[in-house]
């Protein structure tokens, strides 16, 4: 149990004693090295009196040798007793947080926990290195943290310290393979204990997307399947979430600074300095966030500054062959490429010269620079170089912002700050993300706010909105999704928020929703093409040579029939409605309401007819329902949509015949408008006044309800929603 890395000085003392003893015995005439070493070892055991020792070297060894041996024995015995005490204590008082691996993610998490008032939770860290980043971050003055220098893959050790019973476990091994071994050991300790009823949240750091899918299937077997009906009054005992530090950092940086690249009348343009994994991740997430047009010729522009552009370009094209391809002879990809335009600049990160800077800024220059060049950030060379160029070279319009993206432990500002100099843009340390974004559950239930505890996600509530719009049945829950599907919803939510900001000036409400739907469809297409999916070129109802059905062709073969331009006839109307509905949910001040059980007189159009509504003239097709309201107002409803909202209100009334119909009690999203507005819908244009409401009843129904009648037909079901 004695750890060399923890207390090496007794061993150093013993080594000194051994050297002195051997040297002293060699001074005796006729003594060889072997005999000197043997006599020294015997001296440590027998501890002869000083008068029997030949010289002072051996006498010093006779004192230091037993002293170091006794000291090491006492320390080892003390550590054994301490570990047994910890085992007994953790058996009855389980640790609240366990860090398997004391890397930078664990260190940042510890910093966040120590900043909370009070003593803080009981934390146990298991790491083979005593000088791990978490140990350096540990606050000795308010320490409630115990660091166990041991192998985190030891199943018996994990069981002895009740790690498998801790409510929160953060697994961050040195590599994906090491993390996998720790996870399997943790699972083995949990199975060995035989107690699966304890609630727990496992947060696992991984870098490789393929490994995430592999472990997602192993540790979350319910992912991608229809969940089994849970037993009454029994909550799920285990929750496993996977995350990547680089992925989280790139996503959050885009959430904060992507809007800097959006300028009126210009294509979005960013510049990235560096060639490492972090820089590549920033570029990939920028492609997701900065989808501002569904026209491929207006795609994102990326100026990439690195010392080896040809090598990096080959690496990127090998991993993502469709990026940057302007034309493709295949009809499958017509109207979809290119996804991004790369402009490669060869320069050292800290030596971007005036010529390179001027060439980038002459035409459609970047709006923001992301400096992610690893070791060069330690002295701030690249950032200082850019700031100096900004001060010396003329820049037309608003100068670009410089964002420092650090991927190293520490929160201090890199580079010395000169006295009297203006404050420079703050750097963005990757480890700070955990301080800002890891929210604690507000209840004692460890799983109640598990999504909010996801490192890097401010909240998954927006991602859940996206998922709710596209799920096909009630059993398709958020917890049943695989991790890559969750990330797709998160990226969609981030992009919708950014798209709303960029389209605030669009007056027509219907046109705004349609534009937002187009942009989100383009982003989804980019995401799937980058992930290796392909469009479907065969007619929808034609038999496929593979013999797979639509679902299997999508998930097994990566073939998606919706990877077509938004305006294509091959894109089903259902997808357009889902996209519009999703965009509506992300409007500001949108609330969830519930319709009231009301009865209305309904007739059905036998041919195309124009219906005069309070909001404007609308065309009703043959078979559409024409509903009469409580105040005599009339409006048409599509036949397919009418069946989702109404049901016969009198006994014996056959659906589709004129008569009294009862409105079903359904949930709907509503928004109260503060000024006059227009909404383009199928069949016409509705005009509303200030105080009127826009109601999204279901996938396809978008209606305008007058403010004086809204309260009689809808009531709020969310906290804080008021009429």
Whether the predicted pLDDT of 194 surpasses 70: no
Query: Where do runs of H (alpha helix) occur along 557-613?
Result: 573-585
d(CA 498, CA 503) in angstroms, rounded, equals 9
Q: Would strands 300-306 and 340-346 be described as parallel, antiparallel, or unpaired?
A: parallel
Cβ-count burial of 417 within 10 angstroms (0-12 exposed, 13-18 middle, 19+ buried)?
A: exposed
Sheet holding 634-637, edge to edge: 634-637, 625-628, 599-604, 659-663, 646-648
pLDDT attached to residue 417: 33
Domain harbouring 108, CATH code = 3.40.50.720
Residue 22 contacts by C-beta under 8 Å, 6 or more apart in sequence?
A: 33, 36, 37, 40
Sheet holding 714-716, edge to edge: 702-705, 693-696, 667-672, 591-595, 714-716
Could you tell me the maximum CA-CA distance found in the chain, to the nearest angstrom?
125
Query: Where do runs of H (alpha helix) occur along 115-175?
Result: 133-137, 155-160
Sheet holding 677-681, edge to edge: 609-613, 616-620, 684-688, 677-681
d(CA 665, CA 656) in angstroms, rounded, equals 20
d(CA 624, CA 647) in angstroms, rounded, equals 14
Is residue 546 domain-shared with residue 601, that is, in the same domain?
A: no
As a whole number, mean pLDDT of residues 62-70 equals: 79
As a whole number, mean pLDDT of residues 548-573 equals: 82
For 426-458, the pLDDT digits (tens) are 443 444 443 333 333 333 232 222 233 334 344
Residue 669 contacts by C-beta under 8 Å, 6 or more apart in sequence?
A: 581, 584, 585, 590, 591, 592, 593, 695, 696
Neighbours of 547 (CB within 10 A): 8
The span from the first CA to the last CA of the chain, in angstroms, equals: 68
Residue found by looking up tokens 């003390």 in the block? 78
The verdict on residue 2 lying in a domain is no
The verdict on residue 285 lying in a domain is yes
d(CA 444, CA 475) in angstroms, rounded, equals 27
- Per DSSP, the three-state class of 599 is strand
Q: Which of the listed ranges 127-141, 279-293, 704-718 does the model predict with the highest average pLDDT? A: 279-293
Is residue 260 domain-shared with residue 287, that is, in the same domain?
A: yes
pLDDT attached to residue 290: 92
Split at pLDDT 50, 70, 90, the class of 6 is low
For 222-251, the pLDDT digits (tens) are 555 544 444 444 445 677 778 777 777 788
Q: Which of 585, 603, 636 is the last residue of a domain?
A: 585
As a whole number, mean pLDDT of residues 344-362 equals: 80
For 83-132, the pLDDT digits (tens) are 777 777 777 788 888 999 888 778 777 776 776 666 678 888 898 887 78
CA distances from 634 to 71, 614, 625, 714 (A): 94, 8, 10, 18
**Residue 320 token pair:** 């993502």
Contact assessment for residue 130 and residue 191, using Cβ atoms and an 8 Å cutoff: no
Whether the predicted pLDDT of 721 surpasses 50: no
Domain that holds residue 39: 9-79
- C-alpha dihedral over 42, 45, 46, 51, to 10 degrees? 70
Contact assessment for residue 656 and residue 597, using Cβ atoms and an 8 Å cutoff: no
Split at pLDDT 50, 70, 90, the class of 683 is low
Write the DSSP assignment of 684-707 as a string of letters: EEEEE-TT-EEEE-SSS-EEEE-H
The verdict on residue 662 lying in a domain is yes
Q: What is the DSSP letter of 139?
A: -
Q: Which of 532, 567, 585 is the last residue of a domain?
A: 585
For 610-664, the pLDDT digits (tens) are 888 876 778 888 888 888 877 778 888 888 778 877 888 888 788 888 888 888 7
Is residue 98 domain-shared with residue 49, that is, in the same domain?
A: no
Split at pLDDT 50, 70, 90, the class of 374 is low
Whether the predicted pLDDT of 36 surpasses 80: yes
d(CA 354, CA 34) in angstroms, rounded, equals 70
Distant-in-sequence contacts of 688-694, Cβ < 8 A, 24+ apart:
688/615, 692/615, 694/509, 694/584, 694/670
The verdict on residue 691 lying in a domain is yes
Is residue 193 domain-shared with residue 265, that is, in the same domain?
A: no
Split at pLDDT 50, 70, 90, the class of 189 is confident
The verdict on residue 447 lying in a domain is no
**Residue 127 token pair:** 């790491």
Whether the predicted pLDDT of 421 surpasses 70: no
Split at pLDDT 50, 70, 90, the class of 147 is confident
Is residue 44 domain-shared with residue 131, that is, in the same domain?
A: no
Strand-pairing partners, residue 126, are 100, 148
pLDDT attached to residue 268: 92
The verdict on residue 497 lying in a domain is yes
As a whole number, mean pLDDT of residues 517-537 equals: 89
Is residue 263 domain-shared with residue 397, that is, in the same domain?
A: yes
Helices 33-46, 9-26: axis angle to 10 degrees equals: 130
pLDDT attached to residue 378: 56
d(CA 610, CA 428) in angstroms, rounded, equals 58
User: Please, what is the Cα angle at 405 between 400 and 410, to 5 degrees?
Assistant: 140
d(CA 203, CA 170) in angstroms, rounded, equals 5
The verdict on residue 451 lying in a domain is no
- C-alpha dihedral over 274, 279, 280, 286, to 10 degrees? -120
Is residue 260 domain-shared with residue 408, that is, in the same domain?
A: yes
Is residue 706 domain-shared with residue 648, that is, in the same domain?
A: yes
Identify the helix (H) or strand (E) that includes residue 42.
Answer: helix 33-46
Residue found by looking up tokens 């009301």 in the block? 598
Is residue 74 domain-shared with residue 105, that is, in the same domain?
A: no
Q: Would strands 145-149 and 123-127 be described as parallel, antiparallel, or unpaired?
A: parallel
Q: Is 380 left (phi over 0), alpha (psi -120 to 50) or beta?
A: left
pLDDT attached to residue 521: 93
d(CA 654, CA 93) in angstroms, rounded, equals 66
Q: What percent of the chain has pLDDT over 90?
A: 5
Q: Which of 553, 585, 617 is the last residue of a domain?
A: 585
Q: What percent of the chain has pLDDT over 70?
A: 81
Residue 32 contacts by C-beta under 8 Å, 6 or more apart in sequence?
A: none
* Number of domains the chain is built from: 5
d(CA 368, CA 269) in angstroms, rounded, equals 8
For 274-323, the pLDDT digits (tens) are 888 888 888 998 998 899 888 888 899 999 998 889 999 988 888 888 88
Split at pLDDT 50, 70, 90, the class of 523 is very high
pLDDT attached to residue 193: 66
Residue 178 contacts by C-beta under 8 Å, 6 or more apart in sequence?
A: 101, 153
Residue found by looking up tokens 């049945």 in the block? 473
Residue found by looking up tokens 């501002």 in the block? 292
Is residue 186 domain-shared with residue 264, that is, in the same domain?
A: no
pLDDT attached to residue 236: 54
Is residue 263 domain-shared with residue 191, that is, in the same domain?
A: no
Domain harbouring 360, CATH code = 3.40.50
- Mean pLDDT, rounded, of the chain: 76
Contact assessment for residue 59 and residue 50, using Cβ atoms and an 8 Å cutoff: yes
Contact assessment for residue 161 and residue 199, using Cβ atoms and an 8 Å cutoff: no
d(CA 685, CA 598) in angstroms, rounded, equals 26
Contact assessment for residue 437 and residue 252, using Cβ atoms and an 8 Å cutoff: yes
pLDDT attached to residue 526: 92
Q: Which of the listed ranges 21-30, 387-396, 712-721 does the model predict with the highest average pLDDT? A: 21-30
As a whole number, mean pLDDT of residues 135-164 equals: 77
The HSE-up count of residue 656 (CA atoms within 13 Å, CB side) is 4
Split at pLDDT 50, 70, 90, the class of 7 is low
d(CA 528, CA 535) in angstroms, rounded, equals 9
Q: Which of 55, 68, 51 is nearest to 24 (CA)?
A: 55
d(CA 592, CA 201) in angstroms, rounded, equals 30
Neighbours of 408 (CB within 10 A): 15
As a whole number, mean pLDDT of residues 187-202 equals: 72
The verdict on residue 721 lying in a domain is no
- Per DSSP, the three-state class of 140 is coil
Contact assessment for residue 203 and residue 453, using Cβ atoms and an 8 Å cutoff: yes
pLDDT attached to residue 5: 43
Is residue 475 domain-shared with residue 606, that is, in the same domain?
A: no
The HSE-up count of residue 638 (CA atoms within 13 Å, CB side) is 14
Contact assessment for residue 543 and residue 709, using Cβ atoms and an 8 Å cutoff: no
Query: Where do runs of H (alpha helix) occur along 445-482?
Result: 461-470
């Amino acid at each position: 149990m004695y750890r060399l890395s923890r207390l090496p000085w007794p061993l150093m003392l013993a080594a000194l004693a051994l050297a002195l003893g051997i040297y002293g015995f060699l001074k005796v005439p006729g003594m060889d090295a072997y005999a000197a070493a043997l006599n020294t070892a015997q001296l440590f055991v027998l501890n002869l009196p000083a008068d029997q020792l030949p010289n002072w070297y051996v006498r010093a060894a006779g004192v230091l040798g037993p002293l170091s041996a006794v000291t090491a024995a006492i320390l080892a015995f003390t550590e054994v007793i301490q570990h047994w005490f910890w085992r007994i204590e953790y058996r009855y008082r389980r640790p609240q947080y366990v860090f398997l691996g004391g890397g930078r993610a664990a260190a940042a998490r510890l910093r966040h926990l120590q900043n909370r008032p009070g003593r803080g939770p009981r934390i146990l860290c298991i790491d083979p290195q005593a000088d791990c980043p978490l140990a350096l971050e540990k606050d000795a003055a308010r320490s409630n943290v115990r660091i166990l220098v041991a192998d985190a893959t030891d199943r018996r050790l994990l069981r002895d310290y009740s790690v498998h019973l801790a409510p929160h476990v953060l697994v961050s091994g040195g590599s994906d393979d090491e993390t996998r071994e720790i996870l399997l050991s943790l699972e083995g300790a949990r199975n060995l204990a035989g107690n699966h009823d304890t609630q727990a949240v496992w947060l696992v750091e991984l870098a490789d997307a393929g490994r995430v899918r592999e472990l997602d299937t192993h540790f979350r077997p319910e992912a991608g399947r229809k969940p089994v009906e849970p037993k009454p009054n029994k909550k799920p005992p285990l929750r496993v979430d996977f995350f990547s530090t680089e992925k989280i950092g790139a996503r959050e940086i885009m959430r904060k600074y992507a809007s800097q690249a959006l300028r009126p009348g210009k294509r979005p343009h960013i510049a990235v300095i560096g060639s490492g994994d972090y820089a590549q991740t920033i570029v990939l997430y920028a492609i997701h966030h900065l989808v501002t047009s569904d026209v491929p010729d207006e795609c994102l522009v990326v100026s990439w500054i690195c010392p080896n552009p040809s090598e990096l370009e080959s690496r990127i094209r090998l991993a993502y062959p469709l990026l940057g391809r302007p034309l493709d002879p295949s009809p499958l990809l017509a109207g979809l490429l290119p996804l991004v335009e790369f402009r490669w600049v060869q320069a050292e990160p800290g030596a971007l010269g005036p010529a390179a800077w001027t060439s980038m800024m002459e035409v459609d220059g970047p709006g923001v620079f992301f400096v992610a060049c690893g070791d060069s950030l330690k002295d701030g060379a690249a950032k200082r170089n850019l700031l100096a160029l900004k001060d010396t070279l003329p820049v037309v319009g608003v100068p670009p912002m410089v964002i420092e993206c650090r991927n190293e432990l520490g929160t201090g500002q890199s580079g010395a700050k000169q006295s009297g100099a203006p404050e420079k843009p703050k750097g963005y340390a990757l480890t700070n993300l955990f301080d800002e974004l890891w929210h604690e559950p507000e209840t004692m239930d460890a799983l109640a706010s598990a999504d909010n505890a996801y490192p890097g996600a401010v909240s998954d509530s927006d991602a859940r909105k996206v998922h709710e719009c596209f799920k096909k049945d009630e059993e398709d829950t958020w917890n049943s999704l695989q991790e890559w599907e969750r990330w797709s919803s998160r990226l969609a939510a981030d992009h919708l928020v950014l798209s709303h900001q960029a389209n605030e000036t669009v007056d027509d409400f219907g046109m705004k929703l349609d534009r937002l739907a187009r942009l989100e469809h383009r982003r989804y297409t980019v995401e799937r093409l980058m992930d290796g999916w392909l469009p479907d070129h065969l007619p929808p109802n034609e038999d496929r040579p593979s013999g797979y059905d639509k679902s299997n062709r999508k998930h097994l073969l990566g073939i998606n029939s919706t990877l077509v331009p938004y305006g294509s006839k091959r894109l089903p109307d259902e997808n357009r409605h889902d996209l519009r509905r999703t965009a509506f949910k992300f409007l500001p001040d949108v609330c969830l309401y519930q319709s009231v059980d009301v009865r209305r007189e309904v007739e059905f159009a036998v041919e195309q007819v124009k219906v005069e509504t309070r909001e404007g003239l609308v065309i009703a097709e043959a078979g559409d329902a024409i509903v009469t309201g409580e105040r005599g107002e009339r409006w048409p409803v599509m036949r397919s949509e009418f069946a989702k909202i109404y049901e016969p209100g009198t006994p014996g009334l056959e659906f589709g015949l004129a008569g009294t119909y009862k409105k079903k009690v359904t949930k709907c999203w509503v928004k109260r408008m503060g000024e006059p507005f227009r909404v383009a819908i199928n069949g016409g244009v509705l005009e509303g006044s200030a105080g009127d409401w826009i109601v999204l009843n279901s996938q396809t129904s978008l209606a305008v309800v007058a403010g004086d009648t809204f309260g009689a037909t809808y009531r709020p079901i969310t906290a804080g929603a008021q009429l």
